[in-house]
Structure 1
Amino acid sequence: MKRTKTVIYSFMLLTCAVHAAEDSAFDKAKGSAQSLWEKTKTTTSEMADATAKKASEFGDKVSEVGTKASKDAKETGVIVWDKMQEVGEATADSARKGASKIRSLVGQEDCKEGSIACESKE
């Protein structure tokens, strides 16, 4: 009987020890998981802040470049328009001179109304 009691008490003591060990391992795992979660949250938050800051800086730079490009395009457009007007005027002058030269070569100084050779005369 004493032996049976000793075996039962030993079994109970062993069960309590195993249970305590399991609780301790669980607590350690839980603590590690919580620590890892906190580190993950902190790192993610820092990455999001850094990304937002960089995106803001990039947006500002793109805005500056867009403004400069718009200004340059407007200035370039004005220059091109002025040059096109000069070219148009020079072409019209050359056409008038050419028509006048042709009229003088063919001896037609006085134009008849509706004549193709005289339409460019102003």
Structure 2
Amino acid sequence: MSVRGIRGAITVDVNEEQPILRATIELLNGIVADNGIVPEDICSVMVTVTGDLDATFPARAIRQMSDWELVPLMCALEVPVKGSLERCIRLMVHVNTEKKQHEMRHVYLGGAQVLRPDLTKA
């Protein structure tokens, strides 16, 4: 068994609580579905947001999901690089798995697809 990281990102149109929470759930559900994992497999989730998203903590959305109450979550601000993608939520999901690194499916949704076009589904 190894610990692997699964990356993901999504953008929101506005800095408002509900769009941020919905986008976080959409992204996490995509990562879970694409990788066939369950909360019990998860070691922890690191959540970052760009500085322009301060209406809520995205981790609140995860905490409210069924069976995610015990998964360790941490929120942080993304490094504020000039010209970087705005209104972006990123997840780094650390998972216990038998899968190899190349088998991990990273998920980039919405405007965040520009971050890693090489990992974005066609």
Q: Which has the higher contact order (CA 8 A, sep 6+)?
A: 2
Q: Which has the larger radius of gyration?
A: 1
Question: Normalized per residue, which structure has more strand?
Answer: 2
Superposed pair shares fold, TM > 0.5 = no
> With structure 1 as the length reference, what TM-score do the two structures score?
0.24
